[in-house]
Chains A and B, each alone.
With several copies, the nearest count.
Chain A
Amino acid sequence: MRTLAPFGRRRVQVVRAEDVGAYRVLHAADLDGPLPAAGQFYMLAAAAGWGAGEDERPHLPRAFSFLRAAGGELSFMLEDVGPGTHRLAGLVAGDELWITGPLGAGFRPPDGGRRALLAGGGVGIPPLAAWARELGGRPQALLGFRDREHAAGAALMEEAQVAVATDDGSVGHRGLVTELLAAELARDAHAVVYACGPPRMLEAVRALCGERGVPAQLALEAAMACGFGACYGCVVALRDGGYARICVDGPVLDAGRLEAVPAH
């Protein structure tokens, strides 16, 4: 599922920005941009003030999955983890962004009458939320978070039935989302698992689905310089040897193609 991007970056305006728990949600006006497919991403850079963060960074744009795309408005959800996300998290209505996208290949629908089972957490929510909307029928989504503040991000998964797990038990199940996933698969393993989240969580999902023989599509992350296959920087090692570029061959890859989800 790949929507082609207009060639080149374009300058768009932030029309709204709000905090949702530990996260920042940016809404940008992308009136003539195409409709992206769930799991695709955009390269973002603030039009002003890019490059003035710690260590004179960021220089390169940053990759973000879209959370929602409708009525000429693109929404992103991000967490401030470094100079790029910090700068983007500081943007307010009226500020401008450079965006390139949609990029990469998104999720593929379940086959063989399997049900869609979404699993993830943290900033893995956007592709899953977009996919739930695209699939329709309120699929089951299992989301893991650090704590209550982060769990607030679950509210962004509007069009799914959400079960939450938190490390500290402050919301929902105390423990890992993979525990919820194991239970769900025990109940009914005729599913395709769609997952996005922190590397360790994705690796656990990959391993679990591997054991259970359940097909899984993982939306992967890696540091990216370009997002369109130019730099060969964003690779992940494949089980059959060699590497795939996450930005053009992914970000969504079949779990079966990976030996493991790398830590970074």
Chain B
Amino acid sequence: MVDFCGLRLEHPIVNGSGTFDAIAARRAFGDALLVDFPFSAFVSKTITLQPRAGNPPPRLWEAPAGMINSIGLPNRGLAGYLEHDLPQLARLPVPLITNVMGSTQDEVARLVEAVDARPEIAAIELNVSCPNVRTGLDIGADPQSLGSLVRAIRPLARKPLIVKLTPNTADVAAVAAAAEREGADAVSLVNTLRALALTPATGRPWLGGGTGGLSGPAIRHVALAQVAAVARRVSIPVVGMGGVTQPRHALELMAAGATLVAIGTENFRDPRAGKRIATGLKSLQIAKRPSTSMNTSEPRPEVDANCANS
């Protein structure tokens, strides 16, 4: 059992928001999905206040050791989520973490309040990888703006509040520290790296949404660096993710300071990846406990900010 913000979880492996649709998976795999549910908590895809259709296709580009997506956060909107999705998600055998995003503080506040009011939901994840309408930068890219957002909405939630950080920033640890200072119960990272794919024949953007987000093994070591930097800076739990395909990758994120590890793109290659990795992780932990115990008293990797390129 793992304790995460007061939730007692079977194992440390969850899913990355938007990389596993339990409702659709139930249609494809039936009840076998519930019998053998791959995650110790289920993180639902980002919901917004209003329904969104998502970006025009194409939405996918396969990249070296990964993929770029520009899905555009399709979702039924808050009301649709609570009415249609929540009853089905509440039947999952694990706690539910609902991921929300708004482009204004008011939107976020209304989402957080509504989600916090629902007993079927165990925790709230706040996705701040959305461009600030003024600056065009991700809200989560700047410690100040993120800090004030968290300060404003923190009082509205009694449930654990996880802030999902964007990697598209100069100093993710500073952003994490701001979230912690303003009362976040945990941080999760990394989200996808901003990336671009061009149409071979024309040189124009391939993705309907213009740019997209890179995920998968290609970003594994970038994620590991950011998780380590954040875990050394904050004392709240960290949910680490980025390119995990094998149990040892989860173990490495934990060695870097993560309490939970989320599986994203690998779910697409192996729908049962979460279970496979959770099982393999257990054996690895027994084998390697000394060097990778999650006991935070043990030194985190020293990652001195020397010249990245050298």
Please say whether the chains A and B touch (CB closer than 8 A). yes
Inter-subunit contact B66/A231 (CB<8 Å):
no
By a CB distance below 8 angstroms, the chain B residues around A104 are 28
Residue from the list B29, B54, B64 in contact with A55, Cβ < 8 A: B64
Q: Which of B15-31 contact A (CB under 8 A)?
A: 18-21, 23-25, 27-30
Inter-subunit contact A56/B217 (CB<8 Å):
yes
- Whether, in the assembled complex, B110 has its beta carbon less than 8 Å from a beta carbon of chain A, the answer is no
Residue from the list B18, B53, B269 in contact with A60, Cβ < 8 A: B269
- Whether, in the assembled complex, B32 has its beta carbon less than 8 Å from a beta carbon of chain A, the answer is yes
Binding stretch for chain B, among A136-144, A204-212, A221-229: A221-229
By a CB distance below 8 angstroms, the chain A residues around B63 are 55, 59
By a CB distance below 8 angstroms, the chain A residues around B65 are 51, 56, 59
Inter-subunit contact B30/A229 (CB<8 Å):
no
A235 to B72, CA, bound (A): 12
* A57-B64, A248-B27 as given contacts; A232 in contact with B32, CB under 8 Å: no
- Whether, in the assembled complex, B171 has its beta carbon less than 8 Å from a beta carbon of chain A, the answer is no
A91 to B271, CA, bound (A): 24
Q: Which of A187-246 contact B (CB under 8 A)?
A: 222-237, 241-243, 245
A237 to B65, CA, bound (A): 29
Inter-subunit contact B24/A235 (CB<8 Å):
no
Separation in Å of the A47 CB from the closest CB of chain B? 12
Mask: chain B, 244-276; 1 = CB below 8 Å from A; 0 = not:
001000000000000000000101111110010
Inter-subunit contact B19/A231 (CB<8 Å):
yes
Residue from the list B36, B57, B69 in contact with A222, Cβ < 8 A: B57
Inter-subunit contact A245/B24 (CB<8 Å):
yes
Inter-subunit contact A228/B54 (CB<8 Å):
no
Residue from the list A4, A7, A98, A223 in contact with B58, Cβ < 8 A: A223
Separation in Å of the B54 CB from the closest CB of chain A? 6
Q: Which of B30-55 contact A (CB under 8 A)?
A: 30, 32-33, 35-36, 45, 53-54
Inter-subunit contact A45/B269 (CB<8 Å):
yes
**Chain B, Cβ-Cβ closest to A222:** B57
By a CB distance below 8 angstroms, the chain B residues around A7 are 29-30, 32-33, 35-36, 271-272
Residue from the list A8, A9, A225, A237 in contact with B60, Cβ < 8 A: A225
Inter-subunit contact A9/B271 (CB<8 Å):
yes
By a CB distance below 8 angstroms, the chain B residues around A228 are 24-25, 28-29, 271
- Whether, in the assembled complex, A5 has its beta carbon less than 8 Å from a beta carbon of chain B, the answer is yes
Residue from the list A9, A59, A103, A232 in contact with B71, Cβ < 8 A: A232
- Whether, in the assembled complex, B147 has its beta carbon less than 8 Å from a beta carbon of chain A, the answer is no
Of the listed residues A98, A229, A235, the one surrounded by the most CB atoms of chain B closer than 10 A to its CB is A235
A234 to B65, CA, bound (A): 20
Of the listed residues A9, A231, A234, the one surrounded by the most CB atoms of chain B closer than 10 A to its CB is A231
**Chain B, Cβ-Cβ closest to A83:** B62
A141 to B39, CA, bound (A): 46
**Chain A, Cβ-Cβ closest to B59:** A233
By a CB distance below 8 angstroms, the chain B residues around A231 are 18-19, 60, 69, 71, 268
A-B contact count, CB below 8 Å? 134
A104 to B74, CA, bound (A): 20
A245 to B268, CA, bound (A): 15
**Chain B, Cβ-Cβ closest to A238:** B53
By a CB distance below 8 angstroms, the chain A residues around B267 are 226, 230
Mask: chain A, 22-49; 1 = CB below 8 Å from B; 0 = not:
0000000000000000000000010000
- Whether, in the assembled complex, A100 has its beta carbon less than 8 Å from a beta carbon of chain B, the answer is yes
A228 to B20, CA, bound (A): 9
**Chain B, Cβ-Cβ closest to A245:** B24
A8 to B18, CA, bound (A): 18
* A60-B269, A241-B53 as given contacts; A229 in contact with B24, CB under 8 Å: yes
Separation in Å of the B163 CB from the closest CB of chain A? 23
Separation in Å of the B263 CB from the closest CB of chain A? 11
**Chain B, Cβ-Cβ closest to A235:** B57
Mask: chain B, 69-102; 1 = CB below 8 Å from A; 0 = not:
1010010000000000000000000000000000
Separation in Å of the A184 CB from the closest CB of chain B? 32
Separation in Å of the B99 CB from the closest CB of chain A? 14
- Whether, in the assembled complex, B56 has its beta carbon less than 8 Å from a beta carbon of chain A, the answer is yes
By a CB distance below 8 angstroms, the chain B residues around A45 are 269
Separation in Å of the B139 CB from the closest CB of chain A? 22
- Whether, in the assembled complex, B67 has its beta carbon less than 8 Å from a beta carbon of chain A, the answer is yes
A59 to B67, CA, bound (A): 8
By a CB distance below 8 angstroms, the chain A residues around B20 are 230
Separation in Å of the A240 CB from the closest CB of chain B? 11
Inter-subunit contact A236/B60 (CB<8 Å):
no
- Whether, in the assembled complex, B242 has its beta carbon less than 8 Å from a beta carbon of chain A, the answer is no
Inter-subunit contact A55/B217 (CB<8 Å):
yes
Can you spell out 27 A-B residue pairs with CB atoms less than 8 angstroms apart?
A: A5-B28, A7-B272, A8-B272, A9-B269, A57-B62, A57-B64, A59-B65, A59-B66, A59-B269, A60-B268, A61-B268, A226-B268, A228-B24, A228-B271, A229-B21, A229-B25, A230-B21, A230-B24, A230-B268, A231-B71, A232-B21, A233-B71, A235-B54, A235-B57, A241-B53, A243-B57, A248-B28
Given contact pairs A57-B62, A226-B268, A232-B59, enumerate 14 new A-B contacts (beta carbons under 8 Å): A7-B30, A9-B269, A55-B246, A59-B65, A60-B67, A226-B267, A227-B28, A229-B27, A229-B28, A231-B69, A232-B54, A241-B53, A243-B53, A264-B58
